[in-house]
Amino acid sequence: MSTIKDRIALAQRLPKAELHLHIEGSLEPELMFRLAQRNKIDIPFRSVEEIRAAYDFSNLQDFLDIYYQGMSILRTEEDFFDLTMAYLNRVRADNVRHVEIFFDPQGHTERGVPFDTAISGILTAFTLAKAQFGVTTKLIMCFLRHLSEDDAFKTLAQAEPWLDRIEGVGLDSSEVDHPPSKFERVFAMARERGLKSLAHAGEEGPPDYVREALDLLHIDRLDHGNRALEDEALIARLRKEGMTLTVCPLSNLKLCVVEDMAAHPLKHMLDLGLKATVNSDDPAYFGGYVMDNFRAVIEALDLSEDDIRALARNSIAGSFLADGEKRAHLSAIERA
């Protein structure tokens, strides 16, 4: 067996896709300070160190409170552009060739920032990053599940002029007590509009929420999905359907979804034949980007070269790229 160092080098070398990334969660403290200054907004922190020290979470809600506070400094189209460019520039170093990015329009419209301001800044960065670095991107709009169904319908209406630039809809924010069934009708309308369907499920919520996401939202991809492992029938179904799971190891550790990295279920998921992938979720808050996540699981779970290649393949195969684009990336993985 090769050394851990060799296996980390393999993970680095393989072309990869990131499929679970909230652009607002890539807001690094340094950029937060810069934007706060530019927009003349007071923030309750005096230094980058103070901000990082505040990132100590005991569950999802702890994190979300700080996450919504952090994103409140995003005001102008330029802010969203700078945020997105910083992320796309950063992941080049990890050999991430394709990204499917979530954004939370309601986190902005709720505080008076127009939908169009946020999406324009993000999409301009997508175009420039493709031209400058060759990275490809897709955009997924999430509904905040702690808000109402009616609010989600309003957000879908705001997205109407942009539908040719939006790949799908997702479901994020506080999971427990906000099951997928709450959004069945708005997801049905989104699918009628040709959008893909995704949902965070089984991060803190029970296996039944994963089942609802499959049966009621007809998801094309499952975000997190950890707690599906508590249910044998559900495991068999996810395997049979070839469902991609976007797993986020450092996020799971920081939000206490797992006790320590050695107890992370990623290796078990692969051994069960599930199509797991490695993602950063909210890299500025959880301690790192895609390669930081790979490094953590390779070390803690002693992943093999085959595991690492499977994770890279799953990320491409589970993306919404066209078949020809997938084939090109997959053959580059085989050659690497």
Using the rule CB under 6 A, is 60 a contact of ligand HPA?
Answer: yes
Using the rule CB under 6 A, is 282 a contact of ligand HPA?
Answer: yes
Q: Which two three-digit tokens encode residue 219?
A: 């998801």
**Cα angle 52, 55, 60; round to 5:** 160
Contacted by 82, from ligand HPA, Zn ion, none: CB < 5 to 8 Å by type: none
- Which distant-in-sequence residues (6+ apart) come within 8 Å of 93 by Cβ? 291
178 or 239: CB nearest ligand HPA: 178
> In this structure, what DSSP letter does residue 246 have?
E
> In this structure, what DSSP letter does residue 9 have?
H
| 93-96, Cβ contacts within 8 angstroms, sequence gap of 24 or more | 93/291, 94/12, 94/16, 94/289, 94/290, 94/291, 95/12, 95/13, 95/14, 95/15, 95/16, 96/16, 96/17, 96/18, 96/135, 96/290
200 or 313: CB nearest ligand HPA: 200
Using the rule CB under 6 A, is 25 a contact of ligand HPA?
Answer: yes
Using the rule CB under 6 A, is 251 a contact of ligand HPA?
Answer: yes
Using the rule CB under 6 A, is 22 a contact of ligand HPA?
Answer: yes
67 or 80: CB nearest ligand HPA: 67
CA 184 to chain centre: 21
100 or 172: CB nearest ligand HPA: 172
Using the rule CB under 6 A, is 277 a contact of ligand HPA?
Answer: no
> Under rule CB under 6 A, which residues in 159-178 are in contact with ligand HPA?
172-173
Question: Is residue 158 within a helix (H) or strand (E), and if so which, with residue range?
Answer: helix 149-159
Using the rule CB under 6 A, is 246 a contact of ligand HPA?
Answer: no
259 catalytic? Reply is no
Using the rule CB under 6 A, is 18 a contact of ligand HPA?
Answer: no
Q: Are 281 and 310 in contact (CB under 8 A)?
A: no
Binding interface with ligand HPA (CB under 6 A): 22, 25, 60, 67, 172-173, 200, 203, 251, 281-282
Instruction: State the catalytic residues.
Output: 203
